[in-house]
Structure 1
Amino acid sequence: MSTVTPIQPRSGFTRMDNDLYEALIGAELSGRELRVALAIHRQTAGYNMESACIAASYIAQMSGIRREDVSRAISELLRQGVINREGGSRSPIGFAPVGEWKIDKKNTHPNKPKGAPQCGVSSTSNVAFLPHNKERNTNTTPDGVVADAERQPVEPKATRQKLTVDACPYQAIVDLYHQALPELPAVAILNPGRKRTLQSRWRESDVHRDLGFWADYFFQVKTSDFLMGRVPGRNGSKAFRATFDWLIAPSNFVKVVEGNYHA
């Protein structure tokens, strides 16, 4: 009896290019990145399209991954060249040629062969035993009194290496803001307070430490009528218009990334 499950034409099926299939198998992607990549493939190749406009919320519904995590995974896949997109966060998305992928090496601690433990040998037994770390040589007098003790040298403890984080490119982020959003108030002074806030956003996630993420972030702002001041205020009040400081503030930053803002 065959163990191969036949394709059911009535329920539909999605064909995957062998090179792409094998590349996804061998790529060192995280679990979320791989699931998002498969969802993108389903929504493109599954409908005989090379690219498609796919909302992060729809992929979240398909995969069971939180929307903000889907957005981060998409940013990582874009950064590593697995997928491509011409334009901002709402432009069509599709797979890039396998030869153009630049996957991060996530396994930075390869397995190394374990060295054999040092053992002492007993003259009365064939069983090897580990030497005691407090053993030391002593000089004794004829009557058995210890005259002097030579301490074994103590090796210095290994110092922990701190993980270094790339410095925040403050001016580059401000330049992206000016390029994408010339309608909003310009940043005239990059003062210490703004630098501290930007650095906090930069260090919050690996996804944020990418200028491509910031370019998409400001593009997303540009597509919002509310954030751009194109929505009239209530009861004749002045329309709200986002500023650079408002966009990089912690709570507002999360709202924009998750699309959870409204008039």
Structure 2
Amino acid sequence: MSNVIPLHSTGGFTRMDNDLYEALIGAELSGRELRVAMAIHRLTAGYNKDSVKVAALYIAKMMYGDQGADSERANVSRAINSLIRQRVLFRDGGSRDPINFLPAKEWKLDQKATVLKSTHCVENMHATVLKTTHIKEINTITTPGGVVVGADGETQANAGKVARRKSTVEACPYQAIVDLFHTALPELPAVAILTADRRSKLQARWRESDVHRDLAFWADYFFQVKTSDFLTGKAPGRNGAKSFRATFDWLIAPSNFVKVVEGNYNA
């Protein structure tokens, strides 16, 4: 029995423009970005539409099923924003506006860095040797109970905990995130001072998810804000009221942050 599925018995198929097909083959996109692009194509060309209004949750259901959709919605939203930023997709407005493909010649794909696996392994080996040599040179004392103590009397276990805790606290690149905000959204009020409250909220957002601990996520986050007339103060206010305009503090507040990431704001 042949394992080749003939087209006439598939129950239908979606045509893809050859230029788009070849561009997607050659594009250095992540696996999630490519799957999102294919989902958008299915929802547009598959239904003879130029564009489609679709929520990130719906695409997440296409990719991961009903059970995994909720947990992956934010990642899908991030992939959509990344594709928009790279001009693979286009959406004029907020998350509830139609989305469509741009011609491949207009794409501005990110440059992906590549590292040879063999080189990476050699670097790791050197790092291990250096670390071992450094440990041997530490002036330590072993107590009768077998506890290793440093020259200053502090146990090495405690020192390691303090170092790890310090590294975690300092992990959030506050200024880099603020710089991304200024670059993407010059029309919004600038951040003049990185106050303790702002640092605390940024640190909390940074720690919430592995996805958030990536400057590319923040670039996509601020780009999503830029595409919203509501968040940037371009939409007229209701009943003659002054239009709303987001601030940096508003964008990093817990509840507002979730709303923007999930596209669940008054766009």
Q: What range is the shorter-chain TM-score in? A: 0.5 to 0.7
TM-score (norm 1): 0.57
Please, which moves more after superposition, 66-75 or 8-17?
A: 8-17
Kindly indicate which of the two structures has a greater share of residues assigned to strand. Answer: 1
The reply to whether residue 257 of structure 1 matches residue 261 of structure 2 is yes
Q: Which residue does the alignment assign to 2:213?
A: 204
| Partner of residue 252 from structure 2, selected from 248, 252, 259 | 248
Distance 2:78 2:22 in 1: 24
Q: Give the secondary structure class of the aligned counterpart of 2:11.
A: coil
Shift of 1:26: 2.1
Taking the TM superposition and a 5 Å limit, the aligned residue runs for 1:141-180 are 157=130, 167-168=175-176, 170=178, 173=181, 179=187
Q: Which residue does the alignment assign to 1:21?
A: 21
TM-score (norm 2): 0.57
Taking the TM superposition and a 5 Å limit, the aligned residue runs for 1:192-231 are 192-193=195-196, 195-196=198-199, 200=203, 204-210=213-219, 213-217=221-225, 222=230
Cα pair distance change 1:92/1:33, threshold 3 Å:
same
Shift of 1:175: 9.1
The reply to whether residue 34 of structure 1 matches residue 37 of structure 2 is no
Distance 2:254 2:54 in 1: 27
Q: Which residue does the alignment assign to 2:165?
A: none
The reply to whether residue 93 of structure 1 matches residue 102 of structure 2 is no
Cα deviations by residue, 1:183-212 (Å, 9 ceiling, x for unpaired): xxx7896452365257545873344332x6
Kindly indicate which of the two structures has a greater share of residues assigned to helix. Answer: 2
The reply to whether residue 5 of structure 1 matches residue 5 of structure 2 is yes
Distance 1:198 1:50 in 2: 41
Looking at both structures, which has the greater relative contact order when contacts are Cα pairs under 8 Å and sequence separation is at least 6?
Answer: 2
- Sequence identity, in percent? 50
Cα pair distance change 1:92/1:207, threshold 3 Å:
farther
Q: Which residue does the alignment assign to 2:62?
A: 62
Instruction: Please give the root-mean-square deviation of Cα atoms over the aligned residues, in Å.
Output: 4.5
Greater C-alpha radius of gyration: 1
Shift of 1:95: 1.2
Distance 2:251 2:14 in 1: 41
Distance 2:187 2:57 in 1: 27
Structure 1 residue ranges without an equivalent (≥5) = 114-155, 181-185, 224-228, 231-240
Is contact 2:16-2:45 (8 Å) kept?
A: yes
Cα pair distance change 1:80/1:174, threshold 3 Å:
closer
